[in-house]
Structure 1
């Protein structure tokens, strides 16, 4: 057999050269026009792997959030799960203690499958033990904001239908104002204490210590994956919190968050966010359970202690909201801020300028900025190094959970519809309303006790007759590189200090003051701060004077601090729309600058516990950061 001829060799070389040139051309074309193709594909494949692993576990009977915890407790019982101050709780410890709570709740309180129980506690390990103990009985749990005031607390019980309340020891003093109402409604109250001076309040800790360590043997039917798991309260445009139903599938999907951010079972995750929020309970704690990682749980965030804690506990991952990072960059420089081992920061709401400063100052920490909702599963994650976006809207991402950005009217924020009644998608580079179709993996169970508000979140016949989409109420922009940027939240809600503030709730509280005739609450941007600070346009009743001290005291008694309006604008009348709705757009645009606003302006002075007149020099001090809000 003879060797290759010169002609054959030449043909092979030509073919290889052509292939190589084609590969290089394809690579150059991809780098020029689709630079994030491989990053998008890798993330998509990672999502697919997570989904397949979840489905595989479900086929083996590991269906719920609790199932996932019990699976992890069985695999790594001695692994530290929660580190709290100087205490360390292994996965087995939390499992056993939650059995004790379940036993007490069953034998002493008579809780059973299907009961709804509200939990009003601050961050502590027993928050999880109480939660898991109730889940082991088949109860549905309602998380209450630890800052909640009596009126809102009563409303929460009325909407979610809870039959009992579990209260943390540090919140017992807050019960005085609501106990009569709870008693009248036959709602049992259990406190995390060994004794109580009130005979209407039941104690837990004295009973838990002697309770059985074994899981109660009860016949709890397996839940449907799309049925309700939790009630998490979000700010409502009607003025009071809405009880968002969180499905089992939503909770289980949320557990993958930290894994998708790059965390592993070897990480130690620092969590300072309140557990009553989805971010901490489902993404943070759930993420630790999914990985089998260790969580350092803090009762409350402390900017001055943050990096010291990271070194003390060898933290490698922490969860944030944008406000948290802003506090950190505003702290004086310390040696600890560069001596830590933190490699990932995962969260949402991080402003681009804070993001840049954070990255410059605190070392090589990967920022994983995301976006998500309590009510639905649509979400984004920025898995690139690009500063600013909340995620990407690539072809692959839309295959996982479909979504669209709709054109909407600037005044009403209602979707624009064609002559045939169908909605219109915005073009790249334009701001649009984020919506997502209701599907098996993106269910919307609605708000408990509020069918009208539940229906309001749905858009019907969006692109074809019969389709149903969830309206997030958030405005987004997809640029020409497919990055997604959060623009604004529509409606009567704004975000401040990491919390959603319902303007109508604040208006209702202010409207109770004897000297105020009308109130219009809205949010205004303040340089150097995340979200919007509260501001109220007010009309004073004829024959009355403005009383800043009374207003301050009224706020202290009736609203959490993050809801207080920092600025007041005194007007002779409030502007209304043709349908008699309060005008906010012009007020928001005017802001609180004394030179731009001719009406009298006031500023909340916390040190004086009153509202003081907002002068130009005071305004300048606020803008430059000399006075902190």
Structure 2
């Protein structure tokens, strides 16, 4: 009797397992992931009830005490332990305590490349309770000035290799702001931080300087192009920093992992997810000044890397490298990032071995995040019922001609059907707030949609079009006046303003066009010349390379006699984007950015073929 009962029970268990695999193949993936989400929530609530508000900095300081001699950062072969970073950052804090008037709550900007001192200065200022603004190290001139002026800075710290960029604009900087340089010999008007670091103590700074009374207080400003205009400073609170720091842990990383970071630290991916993630784990980070496709796998082998961060372009660059022996000879088990295309994803795994791709979706200033914890190729994450318990989001119909969400006769938006592209929006509420940008409130307002499904509701507009297929979400395209190129968001209005400064140009419209085998879209500028004025290709080239970051420079120019406009006088880009840059389909004069000739040159059929076939690199 017992034997038959056990046999029946075993058969039932096998049947249930089979049905679960057939009908709910991702059940256990979802179950364990949701447990982690709940655990993080309970952990934060527990500390809140105790009156202990723990920040990312607090977690770092605990690691510095518990494991002082464990490597925290490895950079160019040099090892910086948790204790080393703690002491160096305390020196930074003591410099500003002794030689400046900085106080808790003041804002200080960092203009630095990827290097250990980026972290030292960041943490040193955080120990004083300062809000730290990360400046994009690629921007120059007016864009750099705009960022500096937008944050009410008390001080600016500049890396040794970027002092030239600041020297150009020193006379235009605010008078009440001090500039510090990480070099012994600095330009006139700049204070040498490096010199002061050699004469101050590395004694710990009292915790009262950085203790926080609420997790929704500001700790960082990270610049993003958003959807229009010049870069905007997204407000990053202690709460957002904490949430970002658990990303690695949620994907299964541990304290024993060695994590390779080649992404810029001025972006949230490199700083919040990367450095913050290593702190959450108590792990070791291999920091690279700049990504190098040719050195990537050698570095992974040299430092026994087990996890690396990526953007889609990074994976594509690696796949474009010449094949070599032993490409699967490494210890990498996880890759965490966003933006990799399905075809590149598959090619990457076929070529470099059994690496779990952990794709995610998030916006620096956003209130929503998706994580593809299942490894489903091409997806940015799960969208099942359980997920919506934590993040209320929707995909709504979008008018591509008018470049705005569709609304019915009653003024409400409507959701798309599964398989149709829709604008991703996320409900703004107390659980998932939107903190917006510092400075002009209109920038924050522009990212919000009101009265979407009912009177009084508020949603964050991600500006991204997504497609939902069953319980997975896939990135489709960007909307508005932004496109993505070389892993960076390009604000079209900023590029248009720079080109429009030329005296022979009457009007400029900028948009992105798809190029085969490239992630994102390459910039194209549609130009109308002033009457009786001729096009000076050399001046256009000099203008964009001087005043724009390299990734924002338009790769193509299109000369038009007139531009189609929307009812609100915006450039009608839909048709232009569809037409691309093919000279056989476009009768308007087309030009290509030739960096060898340092000018724009006519885009011929031969040149077009070379770009499409990948013989010319963009």
* TM-score, normalized by the shorter chain, greater than 0.5: yes
Instruction: Give yes or no for contact 1:103–1:211 (8 Å, CA) kept in 2.
Output: yes
Query: Does residue 490 of structure 2 align to residue 496 of structure 1?
Result: no
Measure, in 2, the Cα distance between the counterparts of 1:17 and 1:335: 52
Name the counterpart of 1:556. 545
Q: Equivalences for 1:215-614 in 2 at 5 Å?
A: 215-217=204-206, 219-220=208-209, 222-335=212-325, 337-480=327-470, 482-614=471-603
CA contact (8 A) 1:552 1:609 kept: yes
49, 62, 65: which one aligns with 1:71: 62
Shift of 1:21: 6.1
How far 1:29 sits from its partner (Å)?
3.9
Of 405-414 and 72-81, deviating more is 405-414
| Per-residue deviation, residues 160-210 of structure 1 (Å, max 9, x unmatched) | 11121100000011112210011x532110001123241x11111111122
For residues 336 and 459 of structure 1, the distance between their equivalents in structure 2, rounded to whole angstroms, comes to: 52
CA contact (8 A) 2:514 2:522 kept: yes
Aligned in 2, Cα 1:219/1:267: closer, same or farther, shift over 3 Å? closer
User: Which SS does the other structure have where 1:545 is aligned?
Assistant: coil
Secondary structure of the corresponding residue to residue 332 of structure 2: coil
Aligned counterpart, 1:3: none
- Mark the CA change 1:585 to 1:197 in structure 2 (over 3 Å): closer, same or farther: closer
Distance 1:360 1:390 in 2: 20
C-alpha separation in 2, matches of 1:503 and 1:336: 43
Offset from partner CA, 1:306-326 (integer Å, 9 cap, x none): 111111111111000111111
Cα distance change of structure 1 residues 108 and 114 upon mapping to structure 2, 3 Å threshold: same
Q: Cα distance, 1:476 vs. partner?
A: 0.9
Give the TM-score of the pair, scaled to structure 2. 0.96
Write the distance in 2 (CA, Å) between the matches of 1:416 and 1:575.
Answer: 21
Normalising by structure 1, we get a TM-score of 0.94
Alignment of 1:162 with 2:153, yes or no, is: yes
Matched, 1:86 2:77: yes
What pairs up with 1:140-159 in 2 under 5 angstroms? 140-159=131-150
The answer for the alignment partner of 1:107 in structure 2 is 98
Distance 1:315 1:218 in 2: 34
In 1, Cα distance between equivalents of 2:313 and 2:556: 20
In structure 2, the gaps of 5 or more residues are none
Partner Cα separation in structure 2 for residue 185 and residue 611 of structure 1: 39
Residues 227 and 463, structure 2, Cα contact 8 Å, conserved in 1 = no
Residue 195 of structure 1 aligns with which residue?
185
What is the aligned partner in structure 2 of residue 186 from structure 1? 176
In 1, Cα distance between equivalents of 2:44 and 2:69: 24
Checking the alignment, whether the CA contact within 8 Å between 2:167 and 2:187 is kept in structure 1 is no
User: Aligned with 1:195: secondary structure?
Assistant: coil
Inter-CA distance 55–71: structure 2 relative to 1 (3 Å threshold):
farther
Q: CA deviation at 1:419?
A: 4.6
User: Can you list the C-alpha shifts for 1:373-419, whole angstroms capped at 9, x where unaligned?
Assistant: 11123111112232111111012222222222222323234333345
Shift of 1:281: 0.2
Range that drifts further, 236-245 or 273-282: 236-245
| Distance in 2 separating the partners of 1:270 and 1:524 | 32
Match of 1:6 in 2: none
Residues 228, 445 of structure 1: 8 Å contact kept: no
Deviation at 1:420, TM superposition (A): 4.4
- Structure 1 residues 54 and 72 mapped into 2: Cα distance closer, same or farther (>3 Å)? farther
Q: State whether residues 82 and 125 of structure 1, in contact with CA within 8 Å, keep that contact through their aligned partners in structure 2.
A: yes
The Cα of 1:13 is off from its aligned counterpart by: 7.9
Shift of 1:67: 1.2
SS where residue 309 of structure 1 aligns? Answer: helix
Give me the whole-angstrom Cα distance separating, in 2, the residues matched to 1:443 and 1:130: 29
- Cα distance, 1:45–1:236 mapped onto 2, change above 3 Å: closer
1:441 CA drift (Å)? 4.1
Displacement of 1:46 in angstroms is 2.2
Of the two, which has the highest radius of gyration? Answer: 1
User: Who is 1:5 aligned against?
Assistant: none
Cα RMSD after superposing both structures: 1.9
Give the distance between the partners of 1:316 and 1:22, measured in 2 at CA. 40
